[in-house]
């Protein structure tokens, strides 16, 4: 039993977090679309492109890469009329200077609040793989329950640089301190 526990710890340490592939794909499919529902998306373009920044821990590089490939395969270099670029950034490399139109945060044990603060400063949308990270200031997450459910951190919505279509807000489930 001790060996199994040790193997699991080692595996996690060596090979990173064990992501739900279905969830990853669902998020990779839906989060760009949600990003497109931002009425102020134009303001967030960098060199006329959407920079879809995926922040990950070092050990999740492969996961980030797979997500990147999945997106490219699905969207074929364009989110609607916008061309995009996927920017894979290690958590440790993330700074205010990192190019990003949105930030998709994979799972991490680190201080997620840093991501939330940078996003807040940049006024960009953040998506979290893990719904729990919404507590740390990230904006969206998606869960596969009986049906696909979008979660939104109501506390983090109040940024002047983000303005979603109303219908999006009608279909999301809100997370706040009270019902977290």
Partner 1 sequence: MKKRKIQSLSRKIVLSITLLSLFALIVIFTVFEKINKEAFYNIEMEKANLIARTIEPLIAINLYLGLNNDKIKEISLQLIKNPNILAVKVMQYNQILSEIKSMEYDNNIESSFIVNQTVYKPNSQEKIGSLVITYSNQNYKELTKKYTNLTLTLLFALGALFALFSLYVKKLLSPLRKIAKSLKNYSPDREINFPYISQNNEIGLISNALNDMQEKIIQYAKKQKNINQFLEEKIDEKTIELRRQLYIDTLTGLPNRLSLINDIVGVREGALLIINIDSFREINDFFGHIAGDNILRKFANRLKSMFDDVKYIELKRLSGDEFALFFMKKPSLEHLTQTAQKLIFDVEKMIFFHENNEIAIRITVGGVHQIDGALEKADIALKSAKKQHKSFLLYDEKLNIEEQYKENMEWVKKLKKAIRQDKILPYFQPIYDNKSDKIASYECLIRLIDSDNNVISPYKFLTIAKKSRLYNKLTKLMIKKSCQHFENIDNDFSINLSVDDMLDPEILAYIQQNIKKYNVAKKIIFEILESEGIENYEEISVFIDELKALGCRIAIDDFGSGYSNFEHLLKLNIDYIKIDGTLIKNLDTDKNAQIVAKTIVDFAKRLNILTVAEFVHNEAIHIKVKELNISRSQGFYLAKPQEKLKHS
List contacts with partner 1 (CB under 8 A).
Answer: 29-30, 33-34, 36-37, 39, 80, 146-148, 150, 165-168, 170-171
CB of 131 to partner 1, least distance (A): 16
DSSP state of 172: S
The neighbour count for residue 10, using CB atoms within 10 Å, is 10
Q: Nearer to partner 1 by C-beta: 39 or 90?
A: 39
Q: How many CB atoms lie within 10 A of CB 61?
A: 15
Identify the CA nearest to 179 among candidates 158, 145, 157, 153: 153
To the nearest whole angstrom, how small is the minimum distance from the Cβ of residue 31 to partner 1? 10
Question: How far is Cα 87 from Cα 168, in angstroms, rounded to an integer?
Answer: 26
- Which is closer to partner 1, CB of 5 or CB of 147? 147
Of 115 and 125, nearer to partner 1 (C-beta) is 125
Distance of closest approach, residue 95 Cβ to partner 1, in angstroms: 30
* DSSP three-state, residue 85: strand
């Amino acid at each position: 039993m001790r060996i199994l526990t040790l193997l699991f710890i080692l595996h996690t340490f060596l090979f990173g977090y064990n992501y739900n592939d279905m969830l990853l794909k669902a998020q990779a499919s839906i989060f760009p679309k949600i990003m497109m529902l931002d009425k102020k998306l134009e303001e967030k373009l960098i060199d006329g492109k959407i920079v879809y920044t995926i922040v990950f821990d070092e050990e999740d590089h492969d996961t980030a890469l797979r997500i990147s490939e999945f997106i490219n395969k699905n969207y074929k270099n364009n989110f609607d009329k916008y061309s995009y670029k996927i920017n894979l950034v290690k958590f440790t490399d993330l700074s205010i200077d990192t190019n990003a139109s949105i930030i998709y945060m994979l799972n991490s044990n680190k201080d997620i609040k840093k991501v939330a603060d940078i996003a807040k400063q940049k006024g960009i949308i953040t998506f979290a793989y893990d719904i729990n990270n919404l507590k740390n200031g990230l904006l969206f997450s998606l869960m596969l329950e009986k049906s696909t459910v979008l979660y939104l951190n109501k506390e983090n919505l109040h940024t002047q640089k983000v303005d979603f279509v109303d219908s999006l807000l009608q279909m999301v489930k809100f997370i706040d301190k009270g019902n977290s």
